[in-house]
Amino acid sequence: MPRAQAAARKNAAAAACVPSRDGGWLSLRTSKRRNPSSRTGHNDDDGLPFSDEILLAIFACSGVLSLADLVRCGATCRRWLRLISTEAEFICRRSSAPPSASRCTGLAVGFFHQMPEGDPRFIPLNTSRFPSFELEAGEMFRAARVVVQGVHLLQASERSGIILFITSRYDQLNPSNCLYALDTGKKMAQPWMIVDALPDGICWWWPKSRGSFHGYEMDRVDFLASLGGRGDGGNGA
């Protein structure tokens, strides 16, 4: 795919998130989302009698909808996607994270796979594929082995260069854990990244160099705003 185009369509949130990279990683992640030809989108009527204001009150309803709920709402129809992405700030300001721990069950939401050539690709992770952390489930993970098990699960595939860090808690994602992981798993210098869904946003981590970590958080507002498209017009902003 044309890299220049991908970079140009990179959304602002991704840019903020990957300041030290050329943007190729996240562009890859987002560019397959929709092509411009599918964006006829003038008619985004969902058939509901509600005004935008009413819908926003529903999305922002305090403590009910999680980030994942809002992401799914964004896929429901174009009008909802437009509202959620353009009014992300309003929605997040009004809604507060529910106190329940269920929001933090978050396993890693995906990882970057270093291809033999080219850019690493983001692989979204559906953890239902790994009931009770059995890792031999798919071809992709045949070469995987568990390096650390317990609260954290670190999985490394020496063949494919995948390193996957799964945590149930944000505060367990810290540089010392990551360093430990690097020490334990040999030959894991390939770029990798951890993505986690948090109550307040999405968190990305990757090594700047061996032994040194960078963590970036994309907050809920930026993340939801990024759902709305690449700023190439037509999304009714």
- Only segment of 7-15, 25-33, 167-175, 228-236 that touches other proteins (CB under 8 A): 25-33
Rounded-to-integer distance, Cα 161 and Cα 135, Å = 15
Q: How far is the CB of 8 from other proteins (least distance, A)?
A: 19
Rounded Cα distance between 127 and 22, Å, is 29
Q: Does 186 bind other proteins (CB under 8 A)?
A: no
Which position has the token pair 């140009």?
A: 8
- Nearest distance from residue 55's CB to other proteins, in Å? 9
Number of amino acids touching other proteins (CB under 8 A):
44
Q: Please give the structure tokens belonging to residue 103.
A: 């929001």
* Cβ-contact 85, 227 below 8 angstroms: yes
Does residue 48 belong to the site contacting other proteins (CB under 8 A)?
Answer: yes
Please answer whether residues 10 and 30 qualify as being in contact, where contact means their C-beta atoms are separated by less than 8 angstroms.
yes
Q: Where are the beta strands (DSSP E) in the chain?
A: 108-113, 121-124, 144-148, 153-157, 162-166, 194-198, 201-209, 212-219
CA gap 117, 106 in Å, rounded = 31
Cβ 165 to other proteins, closest distance in Å?
14
Nearest to other proteins of 138, 211 (CB atom): 138
Q: Kindly tell me which residue out of 20, 53, 150, 187 binds other proteins, with binding defined by CB under 8 A.
A: 53
State the CB neighbour count (10 A cutoff) for residue 164. 25
127 in contact with other proteins (CB under 8 A): yes
Of 66 and 86, which has the nearer Cβ to other proteins?
A: 66
Least distance to other proteins from the beta carbon of 124, Å?
4
The terminus-to-terminus CA distance of the chain in angstroms comes to 27
Among 2, 99, 128, 208, binds other proteins (CB under 8 A): 128
Residues 225 and 93 sit within 8 Å (Cβ to Cβ): no
Check binding of 126 to other proteins (CB under 8 A). yes
Closest to other proteins by CB, 39 or 179 = 39
Check binding of 34 to other proteins (CB under 8 A): yes
- The one among 9, 14, 18, 110 contacting other proteins by CB under 8 A: 110
Supply 47's token pair. 């058939």
Applying the rule CB under 8 A, the residues between 57 and 76 that interact with other proteins are 57-59, 61-62, 64-69, 71-76
Angstrom CA distances, 236 to 12, 13, 41, 228, stand at 17, 18, 9, 10
Site residues, other proteins (CB under 8 A): 29-30, 32-34, 38, 40, 46-51, 53-54, 57-59, 61-62, 64-69, 71-78, 106-107, 109-110, 124-128, 197
